[in-house]
Amino acid sequence: MTYILGVSALYHDSAAALLHDGTIVAAAQEERFTRVKHDPRFPAEAIRYVLAEAGIGLEDVAHVAFYDKPFLKFERLLETYLAVAPRGFNSFRMAMPVWLREKLFLKDLMKKELRRIDPGFDDAKLLFTEHHISHAASAFYPSPFAEAVVLTMDGVGEWATASVAIGRGNGLEIVRELHFPHSLGLLYSAFTYYIGFKVNSGEYKVMGLAPYGVPRFKDLILEKVMDLKPDGSFRLDQRYFNYTAGLTMTSKAMEDLFGEPVRQPESDRLTQFHMDVAASIQAVTEEVMLRMTRALAAEYGIANLCMAGGVALNCVANGKILRDGAFEHLWVQPASGDAGGALGAAQAAWHMELGEPRQPVAPDAMRGSYLGPAFSDSESAAELSAAGARFEQMDEDTALARAAAALADGKAIGWFQGRMEYGPRALGARSILGDPRSPSMQKVLNLKVKFRESFRPFAPSVLREDVADWFEIDDDSPYMLLVADVQEEIRRQMSAEEQALFGIEKLNVARSDIPAVTHVDYSARVQTVHRDTNPKYHALISRFKALTGCGLVVNTSFNVRGEPIVCTPTDAFRCFMGTGIDALVIGNLYLEKSAQDPALMESYEEKYELD
């Protein structure tokens, strides 16, 4: 019996993952335990959790694999600073103390932190994998494919910003790389910054804002900012950026090119210009990814594509890659960002370092990505009682019936069930649910529950057997990583007056019979719900369908803007009491907002830093 612990840390989204003889036991982000969004610190709490899930101590672990090679990353930073000197001194001055104190001597830091968990920890157990190997391993090894092209795209690892690997059996070999500073992830983040959203957090907003705009700047970006080749490789004109030398993402040249200054977050109004910029950078991203995947399919003649890295979370582009058909099958790691690097590092150690064989499993080896903590009804009841909650304990059938009836009645439901999700998406374990038929549900959930911008779309969770009835897709999409259009027959025809609307004005126009999950371009970010991986969620949606004829619900993550997804029953109750959620179902415990002590209500809107 061999246990391998994977760790990602010290940049953003620290996490831990544990394998037992190659099988995934547990994985979780540190932010869920510390309640600090994108927490970059050493994931001590996540490590304690995954060890506890297996019932072992750190002394039982054969290897601890870190997802990065810090010396290579330090080399890249130094070479970059030297290349742009004397510019960049302020950035250099801020970065160097952290590197010299912590990151450069990561092995010593890891040893110190791990010995707080196990005083006898042997540092000979430490292994370090390259960043893009960790991402590629997280994409290929859990996938259902014996052979695949593996595409990794993110901001930057050590030097690589995109890489292509070929996976066969238990082997994984990187065959091509694109290097810093030429990065699709950094390009998208630069435009995220330019539009006034937070880098490494607001990229989702850009993707959600894009359908409100027209990609009228796409050609300008391809002409001036990016030199894009037919095979998807590219170079970025560094005159428009400042991430190599400064403390901002874009330069004055970017403002001059587009004729507008950087939007100030939370103060400057979003205009049609910002929506058009979002549409343009999304269109450029899709163009790059489609050129790249078409060229890779033609060159290698392999039917399967796996993807990871932060760019792989661009579900709009993923949907277009699947529909494009250059590859017959697509599998995307649900924890594609740096958190997933912890899992990839552990899998790289098992298969590549130790040479252990691999047997792909269907639908994949991620177990629905339900890899975090679970709580029994008795544990939840104890936490809720300690928090002063008033709840009813009932059998599962009654709890499902009550929850389905509440959804059909237009209520917003907190849904806390089983093991917490690994990765950025709530997949029906830590979710807020609503009725997709309601024309006001999107706005209500955004403004009164999530406390965030009204334009941000919500995803449908749909019974796998019903997905083709509602959407133009008949593939598995269990991780909410594919966008598809709603079926033509349920779309609502727009009047001439409605078609003439611009920007956010479009938000209030119902587009289909399921307006709460239909974006302004008739698209939806689809999650298919499978009876075998989440039977209780499947049963809830089936009950809702029996009441309404609708086999899907609105699903958004159980948190408010700027807060990590809830982890414990106590987290869930606090969020419930600080928002407009009407009812909360934790296991088979049912809580009505109207039954709670008003003294426990809290102002949640200002509790967390804006995302």
Nearest C-alpha neighbor of 59 from the set 99, 115, 113: 115
Least confident of 117-121, 138-142, 229-233, 517-521: 517-521
Nearest C-alpha neighbor of 446 from the set 578, 278, 580: 580
DSSP symbol at 224: I
As a whole number of angstroms, the distance between CA 75 and CA 481 comes to 34
Least confident of 224-228, 247-251, 413-417: 247-251
| Average pLDDT estimate for 290-297 | 98
Domain ranges, residue 21 = 3-130+339-362
Using an 8 Å Cβ cutoff, are 362 and 145 in contact?
Answer: no
pLDDT band at 562 (very low <50, low <70, confident <90, very high): confident
How many CA atoms lie within 13 Å of 352's alpha carbon, on the beta-carbon side? 24
The answer as to whether 496 is a domain residue is yes
As a whole number of angstroms, the distance between CA 89 and CA 80 comes to 11
Are residues 356 and 317 part of one domain?
Answer: no
3-state secondary structure of 117: helix
Are residues 347 and 294 part of one domain?
Answer: no
Angle at which helices 338-348 and 131-140 cross, to 10°: 80
- Res 600 pLDDT > 50: yes
Sheet holding 329-332, edge to edge: 171-179, 160-168, 147-153, 304-308, 329-332
As a whole number of angstroms, the distance between CA 559 and CA 562 comes to 8
**Which is it for the CA torsion 519, 525, 530, 536, positive or negative?**
negative
As a whole number of angstroms, the distance between CA 135 and CA 129 comes to 10
pLDDT, one tens digit per residue, over 459-516 is: 999 999 999 999 999 999 999 999 999 999 999 877 767 666 666 666 667 778 999 9
The answer as to whether 162 is a domain residue is no
pLDDT, one tens digit per residue, over 27-39 is: 999 999 999 999 9
Nearest C-alpha neighbor of 161 from the set 177, 176, 175: 177
Are residues 551 and 419 part of one domain?
Answer: yes
Read off the tokens for 250. Answer: 């874009």
For residue 420, give the amino acid letter: M
| Average pLDDT estimate for 233-252 | 85
Are residues 346 and 323 part of one domain?
Answer: no
- Res 76 pLDDT > 70: no
Least confident of 134-138, 208-212, 456-460, 499-503: 499-503
Read off the tokens for 73. Answer: 């990353």
pLDDT band at 82 (very low <50, low <70, confident <90, very high): very low
Are residues 310 and 254 part of one domain?
Answer: yes
Provide the pLDDT for residue 10. 83
Are residues 122 and 202 part of one domain?
Answer: no
pLDDT, one tens digit per residue, over 269-288 is: 889 999 999 999 999 999 99
Please give the distance of CA 499 from its chain centroid, rounded to a whole number.
Answer: 32
* 147-153 and 160-168 strand pairing: antiparallel
**Looking at residue 57, which CATH number applies to its domain?**
3.30.420.40
Provide the pLDDT for residue 408. 97
Are residues 124 and 213 part of one domain?
Answer: no
The answer as to whether 167 is a domain residue is no
User: What is the H or E stretch that residue 187 is in?
Assistant: helix 184-195
Provide the pLDDT for residue 204. 86
Sheet holding 482-485, edge to edge: 392-393, 589-592, 583-586, 413-416, 430-434, 552-557, 459-463, 523-529, 482-485
Read off the tokens for 285. Answer: 């991203």
Are residues 516 and 416 part of one domain?
Answer: yes
| Average pLDDT estimate for 60-71 | 85
SS (H, E, C) 491-554: ECCCCHHHHCCCHHHHHHCCCECCHHHCCCCCEEEEEEECCCCCHHHHHHHHHHHHHHCCCEEE
**Which is it for the CA torsion 569, 573, 579, 580, positive or negative?**
positive
More confident residue, 117 or 609: 117
For residue 312, give the amino acid letter: A
CA angle 176/177/182 to nearest 5° reads: 150
For residue 16, give the amino acid letter: A
As a whole number of angstroms, the distance between CA 369 and CA 430 comes to 12
- Structural domains in the chain (count): 3
Are residues 214 and 197 part of one domain?
Answer: yes
More confident residue, 447 or 400: 400
Report the percent of the chain where pLDDT is more than 70: 89
Are residues 521 and 394 part of one domain?
Answer: yes
- Res 584 pLDDT > 60: yes
Using an 8 Å Cβ cutoff, are 225 and 236 in contact?
Answer: yes
The answer as to whether 155 is a domain residue is no
Provide the pLDDT for residue 87. 53
pLDDT band at 99 (very low <50, low <70, confident <90, very high): very low
The answer as to whether 34 is a domain residue is yes
DSSP symbol at 598: G
pLDDT, one tens digit per residue, over 523-545 is: 999 999 999 999 999 999 999 99
The model's pTM: 0.92
Least confident of 165-179, 294-308, 367-381, 505-519: 505-519
**Looking at residue 587, which CATH number applies to its domain?**
3.90.870.20
The answer as to whether 389 is a domain residue is yes
Are residues 426 and 506 part of one domain?
Answer: yes
| Average pLDDT estimate for 216-230 | 97
As a whole number of angstroms, the distance between CA 344 and CA 67 comes to 7
pLDDT band at 611 (very low <50, low <70, confident <90, very high): low
For residue 258, give the amino acid letter: F
Nearest C-alpha neighbor of 545 from the set 440, 465, 486, 455: 465
CA distances from 62 to 25, 27, 198, 539 (A): 15, 17, 39, 40
pLDDT, one tens digit per residue, over 370-398 is: 999 999 999 999 999 999 999 999 999 99
As a whole number of angstroms, the distance between CA 534 and CA 537 comes to 6
The answer as to whether 319 is a domain residue is yes
pLDDT, one tens digit per residue, over 303-321 is: 999 999 999 999 999 999 9
- Res 268 pLDDT > 50: yes
Provide the pLDDT for residue 493. 77
CB burial of residue 352 (10 Å; 0-12, 13-18, 19+): middle
Are residues 556 and 417 part of one domain?
Answer: yes
Nearest C-alpha neighbor of 553 from the set 419, 412, 430: 412
- Longest Cα pair distance anywhere in the chain, in angstroms? 73
Residues in CB range of 245: below 8 A, 6 or more apart: 80, 81, 84, 87, 88, 91
The answer as to whether 70 is a domain residue is yes
